[in-house]
Amino acid sequence: MDRLEAMKVFVTALDEGSLAGAGRRLGRSPAAVSRAIAFLEQHVGAELLHRTTRTIKLSEAGERYAVACRRVLVELEEADLSAAGERAAPRGVLTITAPPISGEEILRPIITAYLDAFPGVSVNLLLLDRHANLVEEGIDIALRVAELPDSAMVAVRVGGDVKRVVAASPRYLAAHPRIVEPADLTKHSIVTTTHMGQDTWVFPPSPGSSIARSVHFKPRFLVNSVRAALGAAVDGHGVTRLYTYHVAERVQDGSLKLLLRDAEPAVLPVNLVMPQGRLTVPKVRTFVDFAAPRLKAEFARLSAEAGTMNS
């Protein structure tokens, strides 16, 4: 059996979560998929997968081998496409990850427009509230709203006006004490999400100080969903902290009012992030060229909508 083909079967089984899923995606019988995995295990001399009737789980050796397999397959694809040069038409499956809200509401329409323009490409969009390991998880592109650590990744800037903002409904504010400075939040019901701070929000130093202001609280409502936190705040159940693009439409229609405008942290960059070398792949290069200007325009619009209200 060809080892590269067996590697493709192995990686596909991991992506699909089962041997049967790999068989369906590759058009192979379950027996053929099992033989490919067994061939690799015999070759490396170690068990790669713990199998049950319905699921698979990587062994410790399998985790290391999976990273190496993905790297080998990506480098092979890049070598083929580099040799083909500009004649290579975009094709294959493009795997993209993004945070849930920006992925659904901002990136998804751009993806569907891209699919119309490039019929040879299919897209697998993973909406994740975490930073995936692009190489280990076989992801081509990530949309990230954050300062990027130094890494071997390539980043294409598509926005730079996203802020963390504090907001509450006019109905809530009318019935509770005024919020003039961050410390006033301790007197209020807090609606927070797990990734914005479960019991603490940090603000820049006050004028003349170099010490960041940390506000500690016991949340009235803690949830791992931006939509749920946004809905609770709109319904008047407390003060929340989200990104500008999360609240823009609600600020525009008057459902929310932005607070503490002079205590907002610095803006966060928005980037399309890729492993080194992926921009040479036509499906990746064409998507970045297609999506970048559209993302820039959309993030700028949403930031302007949030920023021009309640100033």
**What is the spatial distance between Cα 125 and Cα 103, in angstroms, rounded to a whole number?**
8
Residue-wise pLDDT tens digits, 8-35: 899 888 888 888 888 888 888 888 998 9
81-95, 160-174, 242-256: lowest mean pLDDT where?
A: 81-95
Nearest to 197 by CA among 171, 167, 173, 218: 218
Overall average pLDDT of the 178-207 stretch: 94
CA distances from 131 to 62, 71, 141, 162, 311 (A): 22, 19, 12, 18, 33
Bridge partners, residue 58, by sequence: 49
Is the pLDDT assigned to residue 77 strictly greater than 80? no
Burial track 206-236 (b if 16+ CB lie within 10 A, e otherwise): eeeeeeeeebebebebebeebeebbebbbeb
**What is the spatial distance between Cα 36 and Cα 29, in angstroms, rounded to a whole number?**
11
The pLDDT confidence band at residue 87, using thresholds 50, 70 and 90, is low
Nearest to 112 by CA among 15, 127, 130, 103: 103
Is the pLDDT assigned to residue 303 strictly greater than 80? no
Q: What is the pLDDT of residue 25?
A: 85
What is the share, in percent, of the chain residues with pLDDT greater than 90? Answer: 50
Q: Which residue has the higher pLDDT, 54 or 107?
A: 107
Is the pLDDT assigned to residue 308 strictly greater than 50? no
Say if residues 248 and 307 touch (Cβ distance below 8 Å).
Answer: no
Residue-wise pLDDT tens digits, 210-227: 899 999 999 999 999 999
Tokens of 179: 């919020």
**pTM of the predicted model, to two decimals?**
0.70
Is the pLDDT assigned to residue 88 strictly greater than 80? no
